[in-house]
Amino acid sequence: MLMQNHNGASARSAMGYREFIAMMAMMMALQALAIDTMLPSLGQIAADLHVSDPNRRQLIVGSYLLSTGIGSLVPGALADRFGRRAVALVCLAIYVVLSVACALVTDFTALLVLRVLHGFACAGLTVVPSAIIRDRHDGDRMARMLSTVSMVFMIVPILAPLLGQTILLFAGWRFIFATLAVLSSIMGVWVWLRLEETLHSEFRQPIQPRTIAANMSRAATTRASIGYVLGSSLVLAGMFGYVNSVQQLVGEHFGAGDMMPICFGITGTALAFANFSNSRIVERFGARRVSHTALLAFIVTASLQVWLALQPDETLWQFLPVMALNVCLMGFIGANFSSIALQPFADMAGAASSVQAFLRMAIASFVGMLVGQAYDGTAVPLALSLLVGGSLSLVLVLWSEHGRLFRRVLPPGSARETVIDFH
């Protein structure tokens, strides 16, 4: 498949389907690397920079996640005006510079400031790939593409803690940031040489406050979309709570610190498997049917997680399979919710992707940080966040769907689908 230029010019080169998937996935994966490679090094960073509060070291992760959410408001409007490619290249350049700066820092507060700037300035690496995919596809095919990208992308979070731990065996934590700088430089060269612009010329939006405000307002108030955005953010908050607290949970509560990369890899594998499966079934059954079923199963699984967490003798091997199942179900929820939420905005995919990424990341990272800071030596705060987030997500989806689940949007003239009506 060639990536075609919507202005009518021939493609920069014959980029095939697999290369396109890999490029989108790896662009997004740089964000995951900036988070997950840090996990094994939190204790070493805290010791080196004289941080005594074990919960405070979580801010190295939480601050990045939150600033990425806030920063997501910016790149969409720029990508709708100047194109996806230019914004991606600028974000990658900033990623390199700030990774080097983090590697050289000598003060914990300064590190947190740089992490905030890093997350904010590089939020486009989350926003731009979604806009590019929306430029090329819509409907259930877009959901399939997002799932395929997510499947490839999830290989990185699975391996990232192991990469971080391997680097620590031979060098200090600063070399983790140096590695991020090298990888983002390679990504920048790849994008420069191979990525063609996908923005339709007729969809270019002027950089005018009134236009930007109108586009963002539309993206944030469209009922068919916003319930899915907020719902996915609450489910994602459970994942971020897990990321923030996994090092303490596995190392301190379950007493298996050396198992942390393996445990994280198991849950990451579950998520990758879900995205692979979703990419194979979503066009057959529809994004709504698949994700609604997964959300109901997620709530049931989270209820089991709460029950286990309340037991005085819960073990790691009770916690981990249930957590892996919850994470697996997130894979059937995330890409499909994102596809449904972006569907109404073909003419302003950048702005819509920005607003949705902002809401999703800001809410999820803030709540996830609260879950991490609420760590009390047990898995109870995390388990409760999964159950409450899933339940509220179901309410929001029902609101967006006017009380109906399992509805499938079909081409005109197709047979009417059966739905469950909660009115």
Q: What is the mean pLDDT of residues 59-87?
A: 87
Question: Mean pLDDT in the chain?
Answer: 85
Q: What is the mean pLDDT of residues 171-182?
A: 95
User: Does residue 4 sit within a domain?
Assistant: no
* Beta-carbon contacts of residue 54 (< 8 Å; ≥ 6 apart): 46, 248
User: How many angstroms separate the CA atoms of 170 and 175, rounded?
Assistant: 9
CB 74 within 8 A of CB 345: no
pLDDT at 12: 54
Q: Which H or E run contains 296?
A: helix 287-309
CB 249 within 8 A of CB 385: no
Q: In Å, how far from its chain's centre is CA 175? A: 25
286: left (phi over 0), alpha (psi -120 to 50) or beta: left
User: Does residue 7 sit within a domain?
Assistant: no
404-405 and 420-421 strand pairing? antiparallel
Residue 53 pLDDT grade (very low, low, confident, very high; cuts 50, 70, 90): confident
Q: Could you tell me the CATH number of the domain that includes residue 290?
A: 1.20.1250.20
User: How many angstroms separate the CA atoms of 336 and 382, rounded?
Assistant: 24
User: Does residue 263 sit within a domain?
Assistant: yes
CB 309 within 8 A of CB 320: no
* Beta-carbon contacts of residue 317 (< 8 Å; ≥ 6 apart): none
pLDDT at 30: 93
- Could you say which DSSP state residue 402 is in? T
pLDDT at 1: 38
What are the tens digits of pLDDT across the range 12-43? 556 788 898 889 989 988 988 998 898 889 88
User: Does residue 395 sit within a domain?
Assistant: yes
What are the tens digits of pLDDT across the range 330-386? 989 988 998 899 888 877 777 788 888 888 888 988 898 899 888 888 999 999 999
Domain total of the chain? 1
406: left (phi over 0), alpha (psi -120 to 50) or beta: left
**Measuring CA to CA, how many Å separate 221 from each of 54, 105, 355, 392?**
40, 42, 11, 18
pLDDT at 255: 83
User: Does residue 9 sit within a domain?
Assistant: no
DSSP class per residue in 88-102: HHHHHHHHHHHHHHH
Domain holding 198, by residue range, is 17-410
For 125, the token pair is 């690496």
User: Does residue 3 sit within a domain?
Assistant: no
CB 272 within 8 A of CB 155: yes
User: Does residue 423 sit within a domain?
Assistant: no
What are the tens digits of pLDDT across the range 242-282? 888 888 888 888 888 778 778 878 888 888 888 888 888 88
As a whole-number percent, the residues of the chain with pLDDT over 70 amount to 91
User: Does residue 10 sit within a domain?
Assistant: no
